[in-house]
Amino acid sequence: MHRYQILIEYVGINFIGWQIQSKGNSIQKLIQNKISKLLKEKISLIGSGRTDKGVNAWGQSAHFDTKKKIINVKKFIQSLNFFLNQKLISITEIKKRNLNFHARYSAKERIYEYIILNRIAPASLDKNKVWHIKKKLDLEIMKKGAKKLLGTHDFSTFRASNCYSESPIRTMKKINIKRINKKVVIQFKSRSFLRNQVRSMVGCLKYLGEKKWNLKKFTEVFKSKKRTLCAPPAPSHGLFLEKVIY
């Protein structure tokens, strides 16, 4: 048996998310079917984690096992992408791994990035890949709010009601907020995240940046552990799974 890791880039707007579900087109199912046809055997594709409907990725990671050794990796990637790229999915790399490697459980860190287009004019080139906010955001107060989220905490406030994780406790290792031209880029690093956690944190940081909340209100909402007090989550299309670190 041979195990391979694949790195995947995709635009999530036309999918129900990464995970195979009973209805709808998922990214996992589409890639799994294409690999199965190329290798002429039933393949099970295991991802590093679920991304929700509309969420994008620059560096999703997954693995699969096959009875056959892939001799020509370059040709295999090209054949896969011939079919997948029509759906705005690309396999960027394939790596041979030992059988102890697991795309999900071997991951040490995951990096997500959220992109806000902060200007009067809506997006054209980046349509469905950024969150358009007209009012200029105060990055200094957003950075102060982000510092409150660092470390190990109960993140129940930012947890979706249908989250499948056993515990709301997570350790936020790094949050970086920067302005690049008219874009505000927020990067989050943690070993794992709760469902909707990143989008919910961005929604609350946006309230800070717009001066709808002050720092005291932001902290109270976070510490309350009450989902009902959370600001509306940021839309999924501005979120990217940037990288999974092993």
90 shares its domain with 37: yes
**Helical spans, DSSP H, in the chain:** 27-39, 73-84, 139-149, 197-209, 215-224
Cβ atoms of 15 and 27 within 8 Å: the answer is: yes
46 shares its domain with 123: no
Active site residue 52: yes
Looking at residue 184, what is its pLDDT?
A: 98
Q: Quote the number of domains for the chain.
A: 2
80 shares its domain with 31: yes
- Least Cα distance to 80 among 48, 45, 44, 39 occurs for 39
31 shares its domain with 90: yes
Q: How many helices (H) and strands (E) does the chain have?
A: 5, 10
Looking at residue 163, what is its pLDDT?
A: 86
181 shares its domain with 133: yes
How far apart are alpha carbons 119 and 117 in whole angstroms? 6
Question: What averages of pLDDT result for each successive group of 10 residues across the chain (246 residues)?
Answer: 97 93 92 96 95 95 96 96 96 97 97 98 94 98 98 97 91 98 97 96 98 97 97 97 98
Last residue of a domain, one of 74, 97, 120: 97
Last residue of a domain, one of 44, 70, 97: 97
Cβ atoms of 23 and 78 within 8 Å: the answer is: no
Looking at residue 162, what is its pLDDT?
A: 87
**Helical spans, DSSP H, in 90-162:** 139-149
119: in domain: yes
Cα distances (Å, whole numbers) of residue 96 to 12, 36, 81, 107: 26, 17, 18, 16
Instruction: Give the CATH number, domain containing residue 121.
Output: 3.30.70.660
Looking at residue 164, what is its pLDDT?
A: 84
Expressed as residue numbers, the domain containing 212 is 112-245
| DSSP label at residue 57 | E
